[in-house]
């Protein structure tokens, strides 16, 4: 059984993951509008991943006999600039999410909630990957600069990303 504090914090994380999904979907829409279909695909898959993350929290709360509560999702940023700035914003957002996961682990330990701590460890590993992936694309975009051919080449690479549901 979840403590009330833990239940509230996990519910807030459902909202944070759904906001992440919204944010990346908005970025995907922007890239599609710019005819950067590979970038748009990458962000669309990212949005799907975030939705799957939200569902993991949703399922954990229910499995632990808690109550999943869905709050309003904030509207995402809608004015976007160049691909580099967008991926830098995605990287910053992932660092923010990592901080939230760390706080959840700290709370689980404080609440003596070993099951939630164990559940959250998957996210600890996932966030290392999330940050590294976003930062990797930031670094590539820095190297590319204003080279249109290289941007086009990266767009083709990012078009290859497919959605794999998390286990
Ligand atoms: Fe669900 Fe990208 O963190």
Write out the two tokens for 142: 């820095």
Cβ < 6 Å from ligand 1: which residues? Answer: 17, 20, 50, 53, 94, 97, 130
Task: Report whether 101 contacts 123 (CB < 8 A).
Answer: yes
Residue partners of 140: CB distance under 8 A and separation at least 6 = 154
* Prediction pTM value: 0.97
Angstrom distances, CA of residue 64 to CA of 16, 45, 117, 126: 20, 29, 13, 22
CATH topology of domain 4-73+82-158: Ferritin (1.20.1260)
Q: What's the average model confidence in pLDDT over 95-108? A: 98
For 104-136, write each residue's pLDDT tens digit.
999 999 999 999 999 999 999 999 999 999 999
Percentage of the chain modeled with pLDDT above 90: 96
Of 55-59, 95-99, 128-132, 163-167, the poorest mean pLDDT is in 163-167
Nearest residue CA, atom 1 of ligand 1?
50
Q: How far is the CA of 93 from the centre of ligand 1 (A)?
A: 9
DSSP characters over 107-167: HHHHTT-HHHHHHHHHHHHHHHHHHHHHHHHHHHHHHHTT-HHHHHHHHHHHTT-------
> Distance between CA atoms of 114 and 92, rounded to whole angstroms?
29
* Ligand 1: nearest atom to the Cα of 97: 3
Q: What's the average model confidence in pLDDT over 147-158? A: 98
């Amino acid at each position: 059984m979840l403590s009330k504090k833990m239940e509230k914090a996990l519910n807030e994380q459902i909202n944070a993951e759904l906001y992440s999904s919204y944010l990346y979907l908005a970025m995907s829409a922007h890239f599609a509008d710019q005819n950067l279909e590979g970038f748009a695909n990458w962000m669309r898959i990212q949005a799907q991943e975030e939705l799957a993350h939200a569902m993991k929290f949703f399922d954990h709360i229910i499995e632990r006999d808690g109550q999943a509560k869905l709050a309003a999702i904030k509207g995402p940023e809608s004015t976007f600039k160049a691909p580099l700035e967008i991926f830098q914003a995605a990287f910053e957002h992932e660092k923010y999410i990592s901080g939230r996961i760390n706080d959840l682990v700290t709370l689980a330990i404080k609440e003596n909630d070993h099951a939630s701590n164990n559940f959250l460890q998957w996210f600890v590993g996932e966030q290392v990957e999330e940050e590294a992936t976003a930062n990797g694309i930031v670094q590539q975009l820095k190297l590319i600069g204003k080279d249109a051919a290289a941007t086009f080449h990266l767009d083709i690479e990012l078009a290859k990303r497919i959605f794999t549901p998390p286990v």
